[in-house]
Chain A
Amino acid sequence: MSNNLPTILVCDDSLLVRKQMKDCLKECGEFNILEASNGQAGVEAVRLNKPDLVFLDIVMPDKNGIDALNEMKAVKNDIKVVMLSSSGTKTHLKAAMDAGASDFIQKPWEKSQIEHIVKNIR
Chain B
Amino acid sequence: MFSQYFGHYLLNKGLVKPEQLADALEYQRSVHLKLGVIAINAGLMTPAQVEQIHNLQKQVDKRFGELAIEKGYINEDQLNTMLNTQKQGHLMLGQALIDRNYFTMEQLKTALENYKKESGMSNRQFNVIVNNDTQEIEKIFLGFGENQMSKAYSDYTTLLIKNIIRFIDDNPTIEINKSKDDVKVSWYARQEILGRLNFNTGIACETDVFVKLASKFAGEELSEPDELAQASVGEFLNLHNGIFLVNMSNNDIELELHPQEVLRDFSLRKSNSQYVISCHLNWGRFDVILG
The residues of A with any CB-CB pair to B shorter than 8 Å are 13-17, 19-20, 59-61, 85-91, 106-108
A16 to B219, CA, bound (A): 10
A19 to B167, CA, bound (A): 18
Among the listed B231, B234, B249, which residue makes an inter-chain contact with A91, where contact means beta carbons less than 8 Å apart?
B249
Known: A59-B257, A60-B259, A86-B239. 19 other contacts (CB 8 A): A15-B227, A15-B231, A16-B217, A16-B218, A16-B228, A16-B231, A16-B232, A59-B238, A59-B242, A59-B259, A59-B260, A87-B241, A87-B242, A88-B242, A89-B248, A91-B249, A91-B254, A106-B242, A106-B246
The 5 closest A-B pairs by CB, nearest first: A86-B242, A89-B249, A87-B242, A15-B231, A16-B231
B238 partner residues in chain A, CB cutoff 8 A = 14, 59, 86
A59 partner residues in chain B, CB cutoff 8 A = 238, 242, 257-260
A46 to B163, CA, bound (A): 35
Report if B243 contacts A (CB, 8 A). yes
The CB with the most chain B CB atoms within 10 A, among A16, A19, A61, A88, is that of A16
B234-281 contacts to A (CB < 8 Å): 234-235, 238-239, 241-243, 245-246, 248-249, 254-255, 257-260
Beyond A87-B245, A106-B246, is A16–B235 a contact (Cβ under 8 Å)? yes
**18 contacting pairs across A/B (C-beta < 8 A):** A14-B238, A15-B227, A16-B217, A16-B218, A16-B228, A16-B231, A16-B232, A17-B231, A17-B235, A59-B238, A59-B242, A85-B242, A86-B239, A86-B242, A87-B242, A89-B248, A90-B254, A91-B254
Interface of A is mostly: loop
A19 to B217, CA, bound (A): 13
Q: Are A86 and B243 in contact (CB under 8 A)?
A: yes
A87 partner residues in chain B, CB cutoff 8 A = 241-242, 245-246, 257
B227 partner residues in chain A, CB cutoff 8 A = 15
Among the listed B231, B255, B259, B260, which residue makes an inter-chain contact with A89, where contact means beta carbons less than 8 Å apart?
B255
Q: Are B246 and A89 in contact (CB under 8 A)?
A: yes
Minimal beta-carbon separation of B216 from chain A (angstroms): 12
A13 partner residues in chain B, CB cutoff 8 A = 259
Q: Are B249 and A14 in contact (CB under 8 A)?
A: no
Minimal beta-carbon separation of B90 from chain A (angstroms): 29
Minimal beta-carbon separation of A82 from chain B (angstroms): 16
Minimal beta-carbon separation of A12 from chain B (angstroms): 9
A61 to B260, CA, bound (A): 9
B16-52 contacts to A (CB < 8 Å): none
A106 partner residues in chain B, CB cutoff 8 A = 242, 246
Beyond A15-B227, A15-B228, A16-B218, is A89–B234 a contact (Cβ under 8 Å)? no
A108 partner residues in chain B, CB cutoff 8 A = 167, 239
The CB with the most chain A CB atoms within 10 A, among B217, B239, B258, is that of B239
Q: Are B241 and A89 in contact (CB under 8 A)?
A: no
Q: Are A14 and B231 in contact (CB under 8 A)?
A: yes
A91 partner residues in chain B, CB cutoff 8 A = 249, 254
Minimal beta-carbon separation of B161 from chain A (angstroms): 17
A121 to B89, CA, bound (A): 48
Minimal beta-carbon separation of A79 from chain B (angstroms): 23
Minimal beta-carbon separation of A21 from chain B (angstroms): 12
